[in-house]
Amino acid sequence: MKKNSFLKGAFILGIAGIIVKILGAFFRIPLGNIIGSEGMGYYQSAYPIYVLLLTISSAGFPAAISKLVSEKIALGDFRGAHRVFKVSFIALIVTGIVTFAVLFFGAEYIVNSIKNPKSYYSMRAISPALLFVPIMAAFRGYFQGRQEMTPTAVSQIIEQFFRVCLGIYLAFLLLPKGKEYASAGASFGASAGAVLGSLFMVFVYLKNRKNINTELKNSVSTNIESVKEIVNKLLLIAVPITIGSAIMPIMNMLDAAIVMRRLQYAGFTYEKANSLYGQLTGMAATLINLPQVLTMALAMSLVPVISNSFAVGNMQKAKKDIKSGVRVALLIGLPASFGLASLSTPIMQMLYPKESSSVGQILLFLSMGVIFLSLIQTLTGILQGMGKAYIPVINLFIGAIFKVIISYTLTALPEFNVKGAAIGTVSAYIIATMLNFYYINKNMNIKFEFKNFVLKPLISVIIMSICVILTYEALFINFGNNISCIVAILIGGAVYFVLLLITKSIREEEILMMPKGQKICKILKKIRLI
């Protein structure tokens, strides 16, 4: 594959990934206002289990299929490439049927095990997606192996767009029947999105069928691999990826299992426990994931840059890029974290006006995790570029163990309740971040200067937070919560950015690493701020 072709493909998939993440993040805000924390509790009890089964059934297969298909095509063996696709397609249909059966027919047992029986309808409504997402995975892997990234990108956007739109519409439509049915409607959006995404991939395949047939006729003759050989090769690649991808879904599923049980153990009624769980996972957690859109783009850009430096043995450049990446992650994560903490209750009242102030307190506890979540994504990109993709997986797993212990212990204490689970989540991120830093420093011997990396940005965010709080309080009496909140956020962002430039906490090369970095640099040069 040519370098520009690779970069173009990575760019297309990266943009699609960011669009999908933005759609997914904003989906929960209108949904939360429609079905409330009670409905979000039902939805969030079903969703993590669905994601885990989806990960098991199909997560590693697009990459595995892509690799085997591209290897065959490189040898001119188009028949072999198409055979890989056909075997994969059948195998993924089987895994889809199995995981669908587990979720659909096992829904009653699962909801009773996690002590949330009213999430039964949501679990059944989302289960058909498990039949269709694996089909998409087979097609996506095949086209990616052919160096055609656009079908994958478009299908991802179609799937997410219809999931969001139909999910919100069905939730609104079914609300009069009860919140458990409304949350099931929202869950069914994922099934509908998967069907439409699959239909698009089938359409693309049929449209390209003539070219594919021509390739098959002109294919070089090679030994035909048995089904067993192909499946073994697929599993060899797919299983490690699946294990890595399953860590976060397992963490979320453990939340679903632990939080509801421990809250009820602490003396909360089923309804109150479910509502608190909905506030934690469906409302507050949504906001701490938003900055990931920026750090995801940063991590994507770091992988090829650092990988290239390692390939040519330029360790000095690799160290410089690693330090710049970490600085940018901190410059994004710190203000997001302190900003959410400063306005935790006002922000949640603006987004979810019908909810109690407790959701703001949950966000306050979770907000500290934004810094470490930003660093985890960036450090994962760095370690992938170093060729050590398994390290962040192991470290996140270690963090997950601590999360389970802390969440299990604190959530059962009435004074902590669901905030105990938030502390457990943040603890997992802190531990994973520290372990990732330790590994990078051990292997690269990089010194991160405290003054430039932490002290200057920290002073900037503290001043920013003071300005945000004072602005909000000054405006609140005359303008109310929403306008005061928005103005305070805008002023806080402006103050923070100016302080970074004044203290020289950010350099031109780091601005260039940010999304739209070149445009930002042009503007700053015009007004002589850099």
Domain boundary among 213, 243, 273: 243
Cα 227 to Cα 202: distance, rounded to the nearest angstrom: 23
- Any residues with CB less than 8 A from the CB of 247 and at least 6 apart, and which? 393, 396, 397, 400
Residues 117 and 67 sit within 8 Å (Cβ to Cβ): no
307 within domain boundaries? no
**Strongest mean pLDDT among 56-70, 133-147, 184-198, 253-267:** 184-198
Q: How confident is the model at residue 514 (pLDDT cuts 50, 70, 90)?
A: low
5, pLDDT greater than 60: no
Q: What is the pLDDT of residues 337-386, one digit of tens each?
A: 999 999 999 999 999 998 877 899 999 999 999 999 999 988 988 887 88
Q: How confident is the model at residue 398 (pLDDT cuts 50, 70, 90)?
A: very high
Determine the pLDDT at residue 354.
85
Q: What is the pLDDT of residues 401-451, one digit of tens each?
A: 999 999 999 999 999 999 999 999 999 999 999 999 999 988 888 888 888
483, pLDDT greater than 80: yes
Mean pLDDT of all residues belonging to the chain = 88
Identify the DSSP state of 118.
Answer: G
Q: What is the pLDDT of residues 94-143, one digit of tens each?
A: 999 999 999 999 999 999 998 899 999 999 999 999 999 999 999 998 99
205 within domain boundaries? yes
174 within domain boundaries? yes
Q: How many domains does the chain have?
A: 2
Domain boundary among 188, 215, 243: 243
Cα 143 to Cα 36: distance, rounded to the nearest angstrom: 41
The lowest-confidence range among 305-309, 358-362, 457-461 is 305-309
Residues 140 and 151 sit within 8 Å (Cβ to Cβ): yes
Determine the pLDDT at residue 10.
59
Residue 28 structure tokens? 């929960």
293 within domain boundaries? no
Identify the DSSP state of 116.
Answer: -
Domain boundary among 197, 224, 243: 243
- Any residues with CB less than 8 A from the CB of 528 and at least 6 apart, and which? none
Residues 246 and 41 sit within 8 Å (Cβ to Cβ): no
Mean pLDDT over 52-77 rounds to 86
Determine the pLDDT at residue 94.
95
Torsion angle of the four alpha carbons 316, 317, 322, 328, in this order, in degrees rounded to the nearest 10: 130
As a whole-number percent, the residues of the chain with pLDDT over 70 amount to 95
Determine the pLDDT at residue 4.
45
140 within domain boundaries? yes
Determine the pLDDT at residue 2.
44
Which of left, alpha, beta for 76 (phi over 0: left; psi -120 to 50: alpha)? left
**Strongest mean pLDDT among 214-218, 375-379, 482-486:** 482-486
Using the structure block, give the residue that is written with the tokens 């997914």.
Answer: 24
- Side chain identity at 27, as an amino acid letter? F
Q: What is the 3-state secondary structure (H, E, C) of 192-241?
A: HHHHHHHHHHHHHHHHCHHHHHHHHHCCCCCCCCCHHHHHHHHHHHHHHH
Domain that holds residue 68: 1-243
End-to-end Cα separation, the chain, in angstroms: 39
329 within domain boundaries? no
Q: What is the pLDDT of residues 14-59, one digit of tens each?
A: 778 778 888 887 888 899 999 999 999 999 999 999 999 999 988 8
- Side chain identity at 495, as an amino acid letter? V
Determine the pLDDT at residue 51.
92
521 within domain boundaries? yes
266 within domain boundaries? no
- Side chain identity at 112, as an amino acid letter? N
Q: What is the pLDDT of residues 239-277, one digit of tens each?
A: 887 887 888 888 888 888 899 999 999 999 999 999 999
Burial label for 109, CB within 10 Å (0-12, 13-18, 19+), is: exposed
Residue 29 structure tokens? 């805000």
Q: How confident is the model at residue 515 (pLDDT cuts 50, 70, 90)?
A: low
